Amino acid sequence: MRVLQICHKPPLPSIDGGCIAINNISNGLINEVENVKILTISTVKHPFDVKYYTKDFIDKSSIESVFIDTKVNIVDAFSNLVTYDSYNISRFFSPDFNSLIIKTLKANTYDIVLLESLFTTPYIETVKSFSAAKIILRSHNLEYIIWKRLSKESANPAKKVYLKLLSNQLKKYELDVLQNIDGIATISEKDKDKYIELKCPVPVKTIPFGIDTSKYKPIKKDDENLKFFHIGAMDWKPNLEAISWLLNDIWPKILEQIPNAELHLAGKNMPDWIFNKDFKNVFNHKEIEDASKFINNNDIMLVPLLSAGGIRVKIIEGMAYGKTIVSTTIGAEGLKYENLKNIIIADSPEEFSEAALKLFKNSYNKNEIGQNAREHVVKSYDYKKISKKLVSFFDSIQ
């Protein structure tokens, strides 16, 4: 089997969950199929740099990239609202990247073209024009649902209207895409169910994100102080919304119960208002070099997401390190979890505070929950098992 993987961001460096997910799929395919070719978009936010890749990876994937300026242009965004096109998607189209796809398809024959996320779907017509390969969409999220949730949470009337329009654009676009592909690999059962609700005309299979669980080594902390933490890129709107809710509504209630509790934050592009406000017992590490060290040095991962979709790779990583996760239902969406066994679900500041207090008093055994979480990830989210499922799905489509 020959596979062309088209990515909206490079597999490396692993600066966010999407990169981690793509990288593990890339490595899994390299191990599972005869030939893999990777084409990736490079952006200011996610630049391609050959120094992050081993010679073996480069040789086996023949990875190539093209830079696209995907920064939001206000004039273009407004124009697309007026014409009812999805600017969120169209800014990922580039004639140069399109030409690279054409050149690649003319030079080689592929059985499968794997499109990583909705942002690579503007190239579907090009793929169909130059290849007989089956086209599989690796659906990282249903994008319109994220923006629909953001619009509901927004207190700004103008922003609410804009986000609702954007959500409607994306929904229309996603429905159109379904007519032009041969299969969808979703990352969660909930996403699969949503596609079925949309009367998806092509086969849909749940293939969750995978990680190399052998590389995640839980380390026992030296100190016994209970440390809460959150890690995530702050240039992703659902994370920004979550951190605002955490600091303004959840954390004060936790401090009422546990006055000496500490909250440690990490992530790139931390907004200025976090630095300008004096949040008690909050330590801002900003962008960190070693995420594994940061996670291992802390205890309880807080994931107060209100508008995300799909599966949060950071939760899977936290579980792999044996950490107890306290998450909203939306944050844990897509994970086959068992509440109070391998994760704790909280959907209000009061529920977060109650969970924190019970962990502090050991009414909830964080070590036991963390161990259960790691066992769950090893069993269900190891990338080698995930890759075999994906290739089996490819076989079923041909």
pLDDT at 191: 82
Tokens of 167: 């959500």
CATH number of the domain located at residue range(s) 214-380 in this protein: 3.40.50.2000
Query: What is the phi/psi pair of residue 26, to 5°?
Result: -60, -50
All structural domains of the chain with their residue ranges:
2-212+382-397, 214-380
Cα–Cα distance for residue pair 133/347, rounded to 1 Å:
44
The CATH architecture of the domain made up of 2-212+382-397 is: 3-Layer(aba) Sandwich (3.40)
Q: Do domains 2-212+382-397 and 214-380 have the same CATH topology?
A: yes
Most confident of 85-94, 273-282, 319-328: 319-328
| pLDDT over 90, % of the chain | 62
Residue 200: pLDDT over 80: yes
pLDDT at 268: 86
List, for residues 112-137, the tens digit of each pLDDT value: 999 998 889 999 999 999 999 999 99
pLDDT at 190: 81
| Least confident interval from 25-39, 49-63, 147-161, 240-254 | 147-161
| Pair type for strands 35-42 and 204-206 | unpaired
Spatial contact of 8 and 143, defined as CB atoms under 8 Å apart = no
**Which has more confidence, 362 or 71?**
362
* 66 DSSP β-pair partners: 41
| Least confident interval from 145-159, 229-243, 373-387 | 145-159
Residue 312: pLDDT over 90: no
pLDDT at 85: 46
Residue 166: pLDDT over 80: no
pLDDT at 84: 41
Rounded mean pLDDT of 222-239? 84
**Which has more confidence, 84 or 139?**
139
Q: Residue 393: which of 227, 229, 218, 186 has the closest Cα?
A: 186
Q: Residue 349: which of 206, 252, 268 has the closest Cα?
A: 252
* 40 DSSP β-pair partners: 7, 65
Average pLDDT for the chain: 88
Rounded mean pLDDT of 29-39? 96
Cα–Cα distance for residue pair 263/252, rounded to 1 Å:
11
Cα–Cα distance for residue pair 50/364, rounded to 1 Å:
46
**Which has more confidence, 17 or 85?**
17
pTM comes to 0.78
